[in-house]
Amino acid sequence: MSKLLLVRHGDTEANSAERYWGCSDVRLSASGIRQAERLRQRLSDEKIDAVYSSNLSRALVTAQTIASEHQLEVIACPELSEIDFGKFEGLSFAEVRQLYPEVAKLWAERNPSLEFPGGESLDGFGKRVSQFLNRLEKRSSEGTILVVAHSGSLRVLVCRLLGIGLQHRWHFRLDLASLSILDTYPQGAILALLNDVSHLR
């Protein structure tokens, strides 16, 4: 069995909760750094064997903060970065709806054919993130692996590992600095914990 610890990065200086910051390399805020430290404390008793992270700094610093407790190097993985929102980057949904009403309608409908103007398509994003699973397959089936990334990329991984369609990724949420856990076996994966933020209280 392999245990996957899936962590979403902490809060950022750019207000991650209200605006689309996909591939923009925004930094953790002071609050986000504290959240990463809470995660480090939460996972201090885990025997972590490897740490993978999105190459964007908000995820990378979160991962490095946790990994420092375990004397592990963080492996940066571009395929784990958040979706490229293109011209949506930095906008709120209200602004997107005003500037790009037709695209906003597809986005609200979660239409799989959606392609962000100047950015990625939902389908292309899913395929890119799924490439990360090739890294995991090359590892031993034993051990505990920490993966730090973004809401979008982590939801793709959860769907892929559980064998459910990517259209279902909208049916669950992953909050900032949350922890989710999957136990993986040759026959498939079991979701043991989803979107836990008890360490932040």
Q: Per-residue pLDDT tens for 17-33?
A: 678 889 999 999 999 99
Q: Is the pLDDT of residue 93 over 90?
A: no
Give CA–CA dist 16/124, Å, rounded. 23
CA distances in angstroms from 174 to 95, 152, 153, 154, 178, listed in the order given: 23, 9, 10, 8, 6
pTM above 0.75, yes or no: yes
Does residue 9 have an active-site annotation? yes
Residue 171 appears among annotated catalytic residues: no
Domains along the sequence of the chain with CATH? 2-200 (3.40.50.1240)
pLDDT in tens, 103-145: 988 888 888 888 999 999 999 999 999 999 998 888 766 899 9
**To 5 degrees, how large is the angle CA 123–CA 126–CA 128?**
110
- Catalytic pick from 9, 70, 168, 199? 9
Residue 164 has pLDDT above 70, yes or no: yes
| Residue 174 burial class via C-beta count within 10 angstroms: exposed 0-12, middle 13-18, buried 19 and up | buried
Q: Please state the φ and ψ torsions of residue 130, each to the nearest 5 degrees.
A: -65, -20
Q: What percent of the chain has pLDDT over 70?
A: 98
- One DSSP character per residue, the chain reads -EEEEEEE---BTT-TTTS--SSS-PPB-HHHHHHHHHHHHHTTTS---EEEEESSHHHHHHHHHHHGGGT--EEEEGGGSPP--GGGTT--HHHHHHH-HHHHHHHHTT-TT-B-TTS-BHHHHHHHHHTHHHHHHTS-SSEEEEEEE-HHHHHHHHHHHHT--GGGGGGS---TT-EEEEEEETTEEEEEEEEE-GGG-
